């Protein structure tokens, strides 16, 4: 068992040398689209999520259908909004999607050039699976076989890990994780194998905790996203930062939320010196930059 501060040292943002981003950007922004496959025989995919149906029975038809809506309708709205703006996103995907009924969604995202991150094999947090090492390996194998490229990133279902998960991820071949939302710079974490980068992850800009768990209205998410980029852009003149947004097609992809999602994208794109990219590109830059924190 390895405790967090045995993997990385404490570092105060105010005491670091200035980081650099491509073309002198002040902020690197990346979007994560979460693509999941829910089990109809379980009450809900995550214990802290309540769907609009609000039921906890099995088979859980309303909650399962809520998720299925994202695969049939919502994801195409999200992709169209990104395509019109020439943007790409990182895809955190349950690897089982690539093998089942949701495969057309995986295919469309892959053909659009969106890189895939591991999001478990099925939608189950690492601290409850029977053999997380086997789950991580199977996720990596399926995604590599499906895309033809070894996945670099991992975003665990619910961001949950055990104290051994990082070692298993590194052993398998994953090189960065989004489960440690502790900084606005990439952080190098030691494992029993190769180091793993903790990618900055803006937890409070994820649509699931904001609009499902905490029940905020959509305009609150938009205002928060705008306030986040405004502040980071100002601070980034002296010390560049990373900002993320995480969306689920069954949440953000509904009609009444899309204008807020598009408004957030447009506000970000209206700013100069912003690098809107993927988590994979930020990882590649961070390990190649001489000014890595």
Round the average pLDDT of the chain to a whole number and report it. Answer: 91
Would you state the pLDDT for residue 290? 45
Which is nearest to 290 in space by CA: 22, 10, 23, 19?
Answer: 19
Question: Best-predicted range by mean pLDDT among 113-127, 152-166, 259-273?
Answer: 259-273
Would you state the pLDDT for residue 51? 59
Q: What does the alpha-carbon distance between residue 279 and residue 140 come to, in Å, rounded to a whole number?
A: 17
- 228: preceding bond cis by omega (within 30 degrees): no
Q: Is residue 150 a contact partner of residue 173, using CB atoms and an 8 Å limit?
A: yes
Would you state the pLDDT for residue 1? 74
Cβ neighbours around 242 below 10 Å, total:
25
Q: Which residue has the tokens 């190098």?
A: 188
263 pLDDT band, cuts 50/70/90, is: very high
pLDDT > 80? residue 223: yes
Digit-coded pLDDT (tens) for 155-201: 998 888 889 999 999 999 999 999 999 999 999 999 999 999 999 99
39 pLDDT band, cuts 50/70/90, is: confident
Structural domains in the chain, CATH included, are 4-288 (3.20.20.370)
Q: What does the alpha-carbon distance between residue 159 and residue 31 come to, in Å, rounded to a whole number?
A: 16
- DSSP annotation of 270 reads T
Would you state the pLDDT for residue 53? 59
3-class state of residue 229 by DSSP = helix
- DSSP annotation of 99 reads G
Q: What does the alpha-carbon distance between residue 207 and residue 67 come to, in Å, rounded to a whole number?
A: 14
Would you state the pLDDT for residue 214? 72
99 pLDDT band, cuts 50/70/90, is: very high
Would you state the pLDDT for residue 49? 54
Calculate Rg over the CA atoms of the chain.
18
Q: Which residue has the tokens 């700013």?
A: 271
Tokens of 105: 């969604």
Cβ neighbours around 246 below 10 Å, total:
25
Would you state the pLDDT for residue 40? 85
């Amino acid at each position: 068992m390895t405790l967090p501060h045995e993997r990385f040292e404490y570092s105060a943002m105010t005491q670091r040398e200035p980081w650099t981003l491509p073309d002198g950007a002040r902020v690197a922004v990346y979007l994560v689209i979460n693509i999941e496959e829910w089990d109809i025989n379980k009450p809900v995919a995550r214990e802290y999520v309540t769907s609009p149906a609000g039921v906890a029975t099995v088979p859980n038809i309303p909650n399962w259908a809520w998720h299925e809506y994202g695969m049939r309708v919502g994801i195409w709205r999200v992709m169209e909004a990104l395509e019109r703006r020439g943007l790409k996103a990182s895809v955190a995907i349950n690897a089982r999607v690539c093998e089942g009924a949701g495969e057309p969604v995986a295919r469309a995202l892959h053909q659009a050039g969106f890189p895939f991150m591991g999001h478990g094999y099925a939608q189950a947090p690492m601290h409850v699976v029977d053999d997380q090492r086997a789950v991580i390996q199977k996720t990596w194998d399926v995604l590599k076989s499906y895309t033809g490229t070894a996945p670099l990133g991992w975003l665990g279902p619910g961001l949950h890990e055990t104290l051994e998960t990082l070692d298993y991820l590194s052993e398998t071949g994953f090189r960065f994780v989004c489960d440690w939302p502790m900084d606005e710079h990439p952080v190098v974490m030691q494992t029993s194998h190769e180091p793993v980068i903790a990618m900055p992850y803006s937890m409070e800009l994820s649509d699931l905790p904001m609009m499902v768990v905490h029940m905020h209205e959509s305009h609150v998410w938009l205002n928060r996203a705008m306030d986040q980029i405004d502040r980071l852009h100002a601070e980034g003149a002296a010390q560049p930062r990373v900002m993320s947004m995480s969306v689920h097609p069954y949440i953000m992809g509904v009609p009444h939320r899309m204008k807020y999602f598009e408004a957030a994208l447009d506000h970000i794109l209206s700013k100069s010196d912003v690098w809107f990219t993927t988590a994979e590109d930020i990882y590649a830059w961070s390990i190649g930059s001489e000014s890595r924190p």
